[in-house]
Amino acid sequence: MAFSIGGRLIINKLSNEGNEANFSLRLISATKPHDPSGNGLVKLQNGGSLEGSITSMPATTLEEQYGYYVYFRWTNELGIPGAFQIWNHGQTEFFLMTLTIDPIPNLTTAPIYFVYPNYESRLPADQAFSVYVPRDDRFGSQKLNEFLQFFPKSQISFLKPFVKTQLVTTGEEEFKSFENVRDVLYESGFKFFVPKEVLDAMAARSPITPPEDGYVPLKFPIPGIIQANLDGWMTDEQFAREMFAGGNPVVIRLLQEFPIKSTLDPNVYGDHTCTITKQHLEKNLNGLTVEKAVERKRLFILDHHDSFMPYMRLINSETPSRAYGNRTVLFLQDNGTLKPLAIELSLPHPKGDQFGAVSKVFLPATQGVEASLWLLAKAYVTVTDTGLHQVASHWLNTHAVIEPIVIATHRHLSVLHPIHKLLHPHLRDTLFINAIGRQNLTNAFGIIEDTMLPGKFSMEMSSVIYKSWNFIDQALPNDLLKRGMAVKNPKAPYGLDLVIKDYPYAVDGLDIWDAINTWVRDYVSSYYDSDQPIQQDTELQSWWKEVVEVGHADLKNKPWWPKMQTREELIESCTIIIWTSSALHAAVNFGQYPFGGYILNRPTLSRRFIPEEGSEEYEELVRDPKQALLKTITPKYETLLALSIIEILSSHSSDEIYLGTRDNPNWTSDEKALVAFEKFGKRMGEIEQILIKRNKDGTLLNRVGPVDLPYTMLYPTSEPGVTGRGVPNSISI
């Protein structure tokens, strides 16, 4: 028999400032699953709504003793209310003392409301930083204020319609020249008008000072890539150098077979064997044959073919982008630098996927239209590399895969557990920055979809790539071995010989990896003297069970997961977690603005195909190759959005805690742990000096490159701001 009960929710609050609270409240059923029709939601009888929740009304004199109240009706179809969520929509915090459900069975006038019909919802754009995570996982007030003081960049998701309007109104949607790019971004800047009421509303919610005339300025710092050399980014040497000493140094791999084959299913996609031939490559192999170059480990590949080709038809037909799957083959020269030998650009066959790809090969050139085509080909490669970097190297392989570990650690390891104490610094702010990312960056119609090549397929691509993710391969030595960038050698430092001796990311990274591993080994060994205590540790076992079976449920049956039965498995797992949260994230995050802040160097979009000979676009390429490039890559609107975000993502807050340090010197009273940590901190200081010395070694040509931009991504410490260096303990930005 159906029934309904009216009730009153009495919220008692304490506010020292006497400000009235502005909040939303949601009841959640304890016995019925949530469904998109609004199961478990209640709304004010006499108040407004916000994204399907309820907003409080100020208490009347009659109810001052209770604080705030709302009336509701609850039916048996909703089950038994067992929990609630409450959101604070004001700037002033309030302390929630109690929430009491006071049934009023004869209350028949309060209507039932069912609300938001979709599974996924977003806060309004002007409340982007009000997204809920547990209090201890939110940014501290200092960091949040610094974040918001990046106005208008921190609010670009909310302000982007006004940016677009200004560009369309003034007819300034395209960059006119390379000089105009630099003027708009770093010299004169760009201003756009925002109505006063919008600015006032933002100022009421954020610590910002809106401009009096309503014209909001956007201006960016000069990125490192052009600080010393305006044109060095155009060289083949720098193009190659950024693949292993740039913002995405984790994709390039050794070429171990020729011809280059595809991993795509031929029954679905046809033949995708690479069309780069021996003749293409041997023109620039300094007398070597391809076979000899492969045998001597002198050929490398940046392969963005198989990951993009299943989506290329969709991207090119359902988004504004026009792009190619691509493969770039490079040669290791005697001086230790790489030079590109050939680029293959591929499109799905017009007759259908089962017919394979239509491909064209481009070779290096320095003069004539061939040089212009080569410059365009490099741009297409960089566009795909930038897109893959954002959805895979950065978001997926650091932010996303660590979040389940953060949650499992909070749920299953008490704060007194030694592994909780070990990992706690490496969990800081990750839930909150990920929540902000889902609200503003990776969401539908968000900044990533607006500004990066994969567009609306970004998260789907990320999910597909995740299917081949492997926890064990996140260990730096395993990653280098898997990509063929190192070979095992028990007599070599760290047991590896690097194939490219001057591979800055790998050389610096191995120093840090070993330091983390030594610290974890010393720490774990002081608490677990054998395997048996690990097997008997119920907290530890439940923690790891959730990491594997819940946090990574779709991969839970993979055989590579550590079983968490031995000390070695615990040491390896904790080392991987700390490495991923600190150094790996630093390597793929803090170079975004130094390398990508100049959109010509790291374009995020391509908007038209290689021009066909005889076409108007081809004649423009012959006549003005720079203008042709500008019309091909990221336009002004998307550039302004992209740079606003990557500048913030590349910045350190003033309260950042770096690897080898802790915010609380009294984090443990265990003397052995304190001695081991002091040793770790000292080692990180030594590593920083070693890295500085390497960058001053003129024989290591990949450390600085033609743009005179040293590889500093893995320097352990940093000043606040965009520095291109610093390894924070955690994924905190």
Closest CA to 456 of 606, 636, 311: 311
Among residues 330, 364, 327, which one has the least CA distance to residue 244?
A: 330
Residue 349 falls in the annotated catalytic set: no
- Alpha-carbon distances, residue 538 vs 541, 550, 551 (angstroms): 5, 17, 18
Would you tell me how many other CB atoms lie within 10 Å of the CB of residue 217? 12
Structure tokens at 400: 């996303």
Determine whether 552 is an active site residue. no
Asked if 70 and 153 touch (Cβ cutoff 8 Å), the reply is no
- Residue pair 477/490 in contact (Cβ under 8 Å)? The answer is no
Phi-psi category of 506—alpha, beta or left, where left has phi over 0 and alpha has psi -120 to 50? alpha
Known catalytic membership, residue 394: yes
Catalytic residue among 272, 305, 394, 417: 394
- Concerning whether 305 is annotated as a catalytic residue, the answer is no
Q: Report residue 339 CA to chain centroid gap.
A: 29
Beta-bridged to residue 427, according to DSSP, are none
From the candidates 399, 417, 420, 426, which is the catalytic residue? 399
Q: Going by C-beta distance under 8 Å and a sequence separation of 6 or more, which residues neighbour residue 36?
A: 116, 117, 118, 119
Which of these is catalytic: 272, 417, 585, 652?
585
Which letter, b or e, does each residue of 428-460 get, where b requires 16 or more Cβ atoms within 10 Å of its Cβ? bbbbbbbbbbbbbbbbeebbbbbbbbbbebbbe
171: left (phi over 0), alpha (psi -120 to 50) or beta: left
The catalytic residue among 260, 301, 448, 733 is: 733
Cβ-Cβ contacts under 8 Å for 462 (sequence gap 6 or more) = 391, 392, 395, 396, 400
Nearby residues of 251 by Cβ (< 8 Å), 6 or more positions away: 243, 302, 303, 385, 388, 389, 393
- The Cα diameter of the chain in Å comes to 94
Strand partners, 575: none
Tell me if residue 733 is catalytic. Answer: yes
- Give yes or no for a contact between 426 and 658, defined as CB atoms under 8 angstroms apart: no
DSSP state of 216: E
190 DSSP β-pair partners:
218
* DSSP assignment letter at 21: P
Burial profile 619-654: b = 16 or more Cβ within 10 angstroms, e = fewer: eebeeebebbbbbbbbbbbbbbbbbbbbbbbbbbbe
Count CB neighbours of 395 within 10 A.
Answer: 22
Name the catalytic one among 326, 440, 589, 729. Answer: 589
Q: Provide CB contacts within 8 A for 679, sequence distance 6+.
A: 518, 519, 522
Report residue 110 as tokens: 């309060």
Q: Which residues are catalytic?
A: 394, 399, 585, 589, 733
